[in-house]
Amino acid sequence: MLSLLVCASVAHAAEAGLAALRGMRVYVSPDAAPVDDGVVLIGGGRIVAVGTSAAYPAGVPSLNPACDGGVVVAGFQNSHVHLNGGAFAGAREAPAGRLEAGLTSLLTRYGFTTAFDIASDRDNTLALRARVERGDLQGPRLLTAGMPLFPPQGLPFYLEHFTPDLLARLPQPASVPAALETVRSNLDAGAEATKLFLVTPQRNQPPKRMPADIARAAADETHRRGRLVFAHPTDLDGLRAALAAGVDILAHPPLGVPGPWPDGLMESLRAAGVWMVPTLKLLDYELAKDKVPPEQADRILRDSVREFGRFVAAGGKVLFGTDVDYVEDSDPTDEYRLLAQAGMQPMQILAALTTAPAERWQESRRRGRVLPGMDADLVVLQDDPARAATNFARVKCTVRGGRVLYSR
């Protein structure tokens, strides 16, 4: 608690570089009681202590007065984003202001202190990340899967808007050696994962499917390097292919596929420890884009929300993600609303944003909770998410490493 926080003395707190973030409530963890009228002390980019304002030490300045008075939680991770939009073009040389504005609009204004890009122009994303990390511009921590792998001659029709140059560089390995070359190239360049498009919709043709030996070899090589594998399954056979390949994380459920999913398949996913990023808002977005009549669209959406809820109820592990920068609207409010409709309680959603990704990437000692010693990646919400899941989108401030990235 705060009474134990200062290495020297409270009188020297300011000189020690400490700053205080005061909240009407602090959720230290999804599975712990909140601290009402709480204070988080920050120093050296880390959380120094957490306690109540009654023990608030005099002389410690506010981190930012505009950030005081809200509900404090750990920094959020969006585990399904893309960074292919015009805001990030030419990241190596682009004006810092344009890149920072893009990251703010897409991510930091909604509390994301970490974002996992799971398909992009790898070298451009790595250049963007490098500029964030060396301080050229402020932004979230960026992780990437680099260039995704597609089935042979199997680019999906919904990428047709990409430039011819980028389309020509997207890997579509037709053999195991070609797939391994792509995986190794990505990981050698600095990627943290592999992304497999196991099934890709085609315009006026049956979907293309990644050969099982290619998918398995790519996953095995990624695991050999100590990294994780995302997969885009599209349909129920895609789920089965993911299981056969040993995939770790489903980038989506089979959205829009009529339920119920086979009970055996649901149990197999849970038993294999396959995690899922629901991206429920994506289905709503695609139905609207395809101008599906509202009554039919509502029925399709409810069906997918219900089936995802069955996965959660069966003990399936969930990571929050929105497919933003493919989905044009970056506001995650509807995703939170749909997760609640699927039966997720507010603290389960908070876990999907914080402790679950920290666990999945073996970072629980540094991220995911508001505890002493953790990185000072924090979100201040305007209202308590326990009252409504959509309050997770009402961000007052976003803090990464003790620095305010965004303030409303």
* Mean pLDDT within 84-89: 94
pLDDT classification of 170: cutoffs 50, 70, 90: very high
pLDDT classification of 16: cutoffs 50, 70, 90: low
* Domain at 76-360: CATH code: 3.20.20.140
Encoded tokens for 148: 């995704």
How far is the C-alpha of 244 from the C-alpha of 255, rounded, in Å?
20
pLDDT above 70: residue 402: yes
DSSP 36: E
Q: Mean pLDDT for the chain?
A: 94
The backbone torsions φ and ψ at residue 327, rounded to the nearest 5 degrees and listed phi first, read -65, 125
Q: What is the pLDDT of residues 354-391, one digit of tens each?
A: 999 999 999 999 999 999 999 999 999 999 999 999 99
User: Which of 274 and 53 is assigned the larger pLDDT?
Assistant: 274
* Domain at 2-74+370-407: CATH code: 2.30.40.10
* Strand duo 249-250 + 193-197: pairing: unpaired
Q: What's the pLDDT at 12?
A: 45
CA angle, residues 296, 302, 304, in degrees to nearest 5: 105
CB neighbours of 154 closer than 8 A, spacing ≥ 6?
Answer: 172, 197, 200, 202, 208, 209, 210
Q: What's the pLDDT at 9?
A: 37
Q: Which of 197, 234, 226, 249 is nearest to 357 (CA)?
A: 249
Instruction: Give the predicted TM-score (pTM) of the model.
Output: 0.94
* Mean pLDDT within 104-127: 97
Residue 9 is which amino acid? S
Residue 285 is which amino acid? Y
* Mean pLDDT within 321-345: 97
Residues facing 62 on adjacent strands: 20
Q: What's the pLDDT at 54?
A: 81
Among all chains, which residue has been given the structure tokens 């700053």?
19
Domain ranges of the chain: 2-74+370-407, 76-360
Task: Outline where 55-201 has alpha helix (H).
Answer: 96-106, 122-133, 164-169, 176-189
Range name among 52-61, 166-175, 260-269, 325-334 with the lowest pLDDT average? 52-61
* Mean pLDDT within 47-74: 92
Residues facing 46 on adjacent strands: 43, 375
